[in-house]
Amino acid sequence: MKKIGRSMSIKMGITMSFCLSLIGTLTSGHFSIPGFLLSFVASTVLSLIIGFIVPMSKLSTMCLNSLNLQLGTIPARLVQTAVSDIIYTPIMTLAMVGLAYYMAKKQSGGMMQVPFLSMFIPSLIICLVAGFVIIFIIEPIFLKQTLKKDGMEHPVGGLGRGPRS
């Protein structure tokens, strides 16, 4: 199971980093290939670190159990997606916006008049919404591929409490 968790962390981390970096640089109004690549690399490294430190499966299971949700249901998927989104997205967004802010400040010779929070808050909202949608759609696909590659079936009762009595 640890192998599956690592594989999922890598796949989701790279996918989320790519998508959020693209969204972030496009919505900034100053898209550049170097800016996108720098943002992508920085957020990929961060997301991989988070993925290897934070036990996402255990956190999701705890949330599902505390809410009495059955794995495979839409409410359970929404909770699992929210857990991932709340853990990954703010940290990645903070890093990407911080990097963009630092670069803009440096390019302006310290004369930039935009406060950090006015850049961060809108980006965070956009990235939380986009991240939620991306995770909701992509995570089950990656999980199915990963389980199939390892010769396992999707554990319909494997997370959470399973069927309720």
Q: pLDDT for 111-142, tens place per residue?
A: 888 889 998 999 999 999 999 999 999 999 99
Q: How far apart are CA 115 and CA 138, in angstroms?
A: 34
Whether the pLDDT of residue 75 is over 50: the answer is yes
Would residue 164 count as lying in a domain? no
- Rg for the chain, CA atoms, rounded: 18
Mean pLDDT estimate for the chain = 86
Would residue 114 count as lying in a domain? yes
Would residue 165 count as lying in a domain? no
Would residue 59 count as lying in a domain? yes
Q: How many residues does the chain have?
A: 165
Q: What is the mean pLDDT of residues 142-151?
A: 85
Would residue 88 count as lying in a domain? yes
Would residue 159 count as lying in a domain? no
Whether the pLDDT of residue 10 is over 60: the answer is yes
Whether the pLDDT of residue 159 is over 80: the answer is no
Place of tokens 């990656």: 142
Would residue 136 count as lying in a domain? yes
Q: So what's the pLDDT on residue 81?
A: 94
State which residues form the domain around 36: 2-149
Angle at Cα 29 formed by Cα 25 and Cα 34, nearest 5°?
A: 40
Q: What is the mean pLDDT of residues 101-118?
A: 85
Q: So what's the pLDDT on residue 136?
A: 95
Strand pairing partners for 70?
160
Residue 6 tokens, joined: 């690592």
Total domains in the fold of the chain:
1
Angle at Cα 161 formed by Cα 159 and Cα 165, nearest 5°?
A: 145
Would residue 137 count as lying in a domain? yes
Q: What is the mean pLDDT of residues 16-25?
A: 91
